[in-house]
Amino acid sequence: MIYTTQMDAAKKGIITKQMEIVAAKEGMVVETLRELVAQGKVVIPANKNHTSLDPEGVGEGLRTKINVNLGVSKDCPNIEVELEKVQTALDMKAEAIMDLSSFGKTEEFRKRLIEMSPAMIGTVPVYDALGFYDKELSEITSEEFLQVVQKHAEDGVDFVTIHAGINKETAEVFKRNKRLTNIVSRGGSLMYAWMELNQKENPFFEHYDELLDICEKYDLTLSLGDACRPGSIHDATDASQIKELMILGELTLRAWERNVQVIIEGPGHMAINEIAANMTLEKKLCHGAPFYVLGPIVTDVAPGYDHITSAIGGAIAASHGADFLCYVTPAEHLRLPNLEDMKEGIIASKIAAHAGDIAKNIKGAREWDYQMSTARQQLNWERMFELAIDPEKARRYRQESMPEHEDSCTMCGKMCSMRNMNKIMEGKNLNILREDE
């Protein structure tokens, strides 16, 4: 039977090769996965032209996935440096990489990235439009914006961020409800500026059906961007954010009618006590579509440590239903991240994702921790390193400060609670000040 997209196949009762791979990775019955894809509650971003892809699922009942942002910019245009980051991100098992390139040899970088990456690839086509056409923002036409999406789809991109929810209606709500940090989404601010400069409707909203034509042809997953995501905890859960979310819910239903897979993007900066309610709102207003969050960053006062502020918010978000975490690095708000920043951001996001999976009772999540606790009880250092989320760092820390007695560490030495309890529980004598007899 012929099908156009993963969702189309799922609705027709067809189990695709990609569904089989994802079900095996998740330990899920493939028929259950097919039903979730048919309902739009799970997406499998898998562009027909991304031949190196090892597919992953994002959504209800699956492990929380993480995304790594990379790409060349005007100030940092070196493709080879970014490709080194790509390889490291792949080695660290990131499930997705977003190419946010905005200057220089963007097409070359994108094609090389797609060719080498088994991880799903995302882009924000509006970033690429100015360099692609060598035009100022106001001079780009609606048709040209869509042509850039078409080009990214042809190249094999698996999902695209499209800020279609910042339409005239949303813009009026934004104007009436003053914000401290206005519109902080880069793509969202560009679309808002284009609308204001040209006094026209958002081209992605006005020509949404044409956008869906492209997505359906290539099985390009639509990641509906949150132009009005809060850029400060002051602006969180305000009228602009919620109004746009309502529009995104309507656009989701229109996409599903065309069998186009949809992810919803979310905040942003947000106080801890608002996160759970925001996850519930998204799932309700957007009909259970997978939710993709940036953080949320839970305080605005920690530049240089925003991998931590975002991991706190990400863990809470994931535990309350977020499906996909966009990593944040220590360099957030300060500069383009370097390789070490990227590594720290990935590890922080993976910790947050796993913590959320434990709370959601995702299959196998607690078992990982059980195995680590067992290794600690046994003082089995090699097994601990094998199970660690960052084995390299764990091993290095121990090697930098080796204890006198290898069944302990330099924090406690022979006062180690695990060591001493093991001896007592086994009926053995305990010598702390002297050598064991």
Confirm whether residue 69 is marked as ligand binding: yes
Cβ-based neighbour number of residue 210 at 10 Å? 15
Q: Is the dihedral of CA 106, 110, 113, 116 positive or negative?
A: negative
The H-or-E segment that residue 365 falls in is helix 365-377
User: How many helices and strands, by DSSP H and E, does the chain display?
Assistant: 19, 10
> Which residues lie below 8 Å from residue 32, measured CB to CB, with a gap of 6+?
23, 61
Pairing of strands 262-266, 159-162: unpaired
Confirm whether residue 229 is marked as ligand binding: yes
Confirm whether residue 341 is marked as ligand binding: no
Work out the angle at residue 54's Cα, subtended by the Cα atoms of residues 49 and 55, and round it to the nearest 5 degrees: 85
Confirm whether residue 201 is marked as ligand binding: no
CA distances from residue 182 to 23, 108, 169 in whole angstroms, order as listed: 42, 34, 16
Confirm whether residue 163 is marked as ligand binding: yes
Rg over alpha carbons for the chain, rounded to the nearest Å, is 24
Confirm whether residue 127 is marked as ligand binding: yes
Quote the longest CA-to-CA distance of the chain.
86
Nearest to 11 by CA among 25, 1, 26: 1
> Which residues lie below 8 Å from residue 152, measured CB to CB, with a gap of 6+?
110, 123, 125, 128, 160
Confirm whether residue 187 is marked as ligand binding: yes
333: left (phi over 0), alpha (psi -120 to 50) or beta: left
Confirm whether residue 416 is marked as ligand binding: yes
Confirm whether residue 288 is marked as ligand binding: no
Q: How far apart are CA 314 and CA 199, in angstroms?
A: 37
Q: How far apart are CA 95 and CA 65, in angstroms?
A: 6
Confirm whether residue 265 is marked as ligand binding: yes
Confirm whether residue 185 is marked as ligand binding: yes
Confirm whether residue 227 is marked as ligand binding: yes
CA distances from residue 164 to 227, 230, 384 in whole angstroms, order as listed: 8, 17, 46
Annotated binding-site ranges for substrate: 69, 98, 127, 163, 185-187, 226-229, 265, 292
Annotated binding-site ranges: 69, 98, 127, 163, 185-187, 226-229, 265, 269, 292, 333, 409, 412, 416
Annotated binding-site ranges for Zn(2+): 269, 333
Annotated binding-site ranges for [4Fe-4S] cluster: 409, 412, 416
